[in-house]
Amino acid sequence: MRWNKRMAGGDGRRLRVVARTFGRPILATLLLMSPGWVAICSSSISSNAQAPPAPAAPVARYTVVLDAAHGGDDTGGHSGAWLEKNLTLALSVRLRSLLAARGVTVVTTRENDSTVDRVRRDELANHANAQACISLHASLSGTGVHLFTSSLAPAQPARFEPWSTAQAPWMNRSLALAGVLNSALQHAGLTVTLGRTSLPVVDSMACPAVAVELSPEGGAASSADHSPIDSLNDADYQARVAEAVAAAIVEWRSQGAGAGQ
């Protein structure tokens, strides 16, 4: 109780970090109290503090996080009736089915048209201890499929990582995952553009993470009878992309990649 009083009397400044306990990344929120007091609030940490830690079990599941970007009030890109949030959700559902059929455990950040804030998405991804995290986007600009990794510089892993740069220790694995995705998409006959960017959702993911952005297959200047929206809504195009991404994940698993930094 005394501890709680001190906690309530703290200045409330919060520092969000990703902590790694026995190989499992967990979210921890440090409440910076009066000098000398640091309270670590996390259900995972609390449970570890009460019971002696079990030895790290081998990873039995192969987990992939699918983040369907936007949702709810956040429509993302839009043009008339076309909404980015609907396409990312459709792609996520399609990919989830394909990956589940291949024995991959899939964690999705949203299953319907609901608002999920950026921090919540990263919490879900980082709690999943995933071997790959795919953030799904769509755009009416550009051509083909764009693969983006974080622009953070690779960093050595530490026990506590700043929340906003949690991706840094995973950068080498993320670049390798982007390479595997690139090969699979090329093999499917798709135009691929690789790039690096500062995307807050990806920057805070503690797993190999790539943002996949679907653009019109023929580019923004498509023909009159096949507009960019038609191209993005083309079920065959979506299916080819989803199949290629699923194949890349299977290849990534066969390489035994993603488990470490």
d(CA 8, CA 6): 5
Q: What one-character DSSP code corresponds to residue 59?
A: -
Residue from 109, 215, 222, 231 in contact with other proteins (CB under 8 A): 215
Which residue bears the tokens 């960019």? 228
Scanning 31-39, 43-51, 166-174, 195-203 for contacts with other proteins by CB under 8 A, the matching segment is: 195-203
Residue from 16, 127, 196, 240 in contact with other proteins (CB under 8 A): 196
Least separation in angstroms between residue 106's CB and other proteins is: 22
Q: Is residue 115 involved in binding other proteins (CB under 8 A)?
A: no
Is the separation of the CB atoms in 107 and 65 below 8 Å? yes
Least separation in angstroms between residue 84's CB and other proteins is: 7
Residue from 33, 124, 192, 205 in contact with other proteins (CB under 8 A): 192
Question: What value, to the nearest 5°, has the Cα angle with vertex 76 and ends 115 and 212?
Answer: 100
What is the bridge-based pairing of β-strands 145-150 and 192-197?
Answer: parallel
Q: Give the nearer residue to other proteins in terms of CB position, either 74 or 230.
A: 74
Q: Give the nearer residue to other proteins in terms of CB position, either 126 or 143.
A: 143
Query: Between residue 51 and residue 70, which ones bind other proteins under the rule CB under 8 A?
Result: 70
Q: Is residue 94 involved in binding other proteins (CB under 8 A)?
A: no
Query: Between residue 154 and residue 183, which ones bind other proteins under the rule CB under 8 A?
Result: 182
Scanning 51-59, 72-80, 86-94, 248-256 for contacts with other proteins by CB under 8 A, the matching segment is: 72-80
Report the chain's terminal Cα–Cα distance, integer Å.
Answer: 40
Interface characters, 135-154, with other proteins (x: CB under 8 A): --xxxxxxx--x-x--x---
Which residue bears the tokens 């950040």? 109
Cα-based distances in Å from 110 to 7, 95, 233, 246:
33, 13, 20, 19
Those residues whose C-beta lies under 8 Å from the C-beta of residue 178, and which sit 6 or more positions away, are 147, 149, 194, 210
Q: What one-character DSSP code corresponds to residue 168?
A: G
What is the bridge-based pairing of β-strands 160-162 and 82-83?
Answer: unpaired
Scanning 8-16, 101-109, 133-141, 252-260 for contacts with other proteins by CB under 8 A, the matching segment is: 133-141
Q: Is residue 198 involved in binding other proteins (CB under 8 A)?
A: yes
The single-letter code of the amino acid at 238 is Q
Question: Using CB under 8 A as the criterion, which residues of the chain lie in contact with other proteins when the complex forms?
Answer: 70, 74, 76-78, 84, 137-143, 146, 148, 151, 182, 186, 190-200, 203, 211, 213, 215, 219-220
